[in-house]
Chains A and B, each alone.
Chain A
């Protein structure tokens, strides 16, 4: 019972953090505020899935949490690569195209 109460309290805390991260992503004046908020939101989603998995005693949700963290990582790399280089096209030597060289 005590464990369940602790899990419920954790879920509420995680949901509060998600709301705060979402508000920062909405306000965030620069790109990097938003990227950080998005990354934090993804991490909190992973944690929330783990907590829900233990609350409902379905620990197979942990596999999904792993997939979510992988997706979060891929999305983050794509966003940062895009915001630095302005595209995903590769030049001849394999390094990403600089914004000046493109179009």
Chain B
């Protein structure tokens, strides 16, 4: 029954993906990746995966849009005289080579991926591995795998899923380091920044002194 929503969303997804690939304005491409994430998250929601949709909306549409814009702001580009950005500031150079070879590679990869999905169980199939749970080997092997943990639930939660979380944390940590390395300030810039801060402190002290002096004068005037 939800097909009348799913099919338009998938069509819009395809349309957005083609636009991201074809558009020459990088700023607009970043914007379209945000739209793509929103659409993908809506689709995951209709497929009954609200947790994945939550992550996709927060990371895909929220954080990565901002990170890509921050990266875009660090890349050199031409400037207009008035200093304000124009819509053509982020245009890529026109492509010189013919796009036949990339198209061929992408098509072959796409067909390989589709071929790979033939091995997967059909969506909602009762024979899918997740439906024929509990797998008895899970229970018989858990004590050996987890070095003698007697409780199977503890082994699953703190053991198997612990490895899972360790891998995820490593991936996210690596991504965080990469983002920090890309977006950090240059060392000279940091020093300049520190100098400016000390200037600010000096200026603030001067202003404070001036305020105190004027306060004193005011009170003297009030006394007299």
Contact = CB atoms under 8 A, between A and B. Distances in A.
A83 B57 contact: no
Interface residues of A, number: 49
Interface stretch (B27-35, B94-102, B206-214): B27-35
B113 interface: no
A26 interface: yes
B61 interface: yes
Contact of A22 (B12, B62, B199): B12
Given A52-B2, A67-B57, A45 B28 contact: no
Contact of A67 (B19, B23, B54, B79): B54
Given A45-B39, A64-B57, A100 B83 contact: yes
B200 interface: yes
A52 B9 CA distance: 13
B62 to A, nearest CB: 4
Interface string A5-40: 000100110010011001001101111001100100
Interface in A78-102: 78-79, 82-84, 86-89, 91-93, 98-100
A92 B87 contact: no
A57 interface: no
Contacts of A67: 54, 57-58
Contacts of A93: 200
A82 B73 contact: yes
B19 A26 contact: yes
Contacts of A26: 19, 23
A80 B161 CA distance: 41
Interface string B1-23: 01011001100100110010001
Given A22-B35, A74-B62, A60 B50 contact: yes
A76 to B, nearest CB: 10
Given A64-B53, A92-B197, A45 B85 contact: no
A75 B65 contact: yes
Contact of B79 (A56, A74, A82, A99): A99
Nearest to B1: A55
Contact of A15 (B8, B32, B38, B46): B8
16 contacts: A11-B4, A22-B16, A22-B35, A25-B31, A28-B28, A31-B27, A34-B31, A52-B46, A61-B45, A72-B38, A72-B61, A75-B61, A75-B66, A83-B27, A86-B73, A99-B84
Interface of B: 2, 4-5, 8-9, 12, 15-16, 19, 23, 27-28, 31-32, 34-35, 38-39, 41-42, 45-46, 50, 53-54, 57-58, 61-62, 65-66, 69-70, 72-74, 76, 79, 83-85, 87, 185, 193, 196-197, 199-200
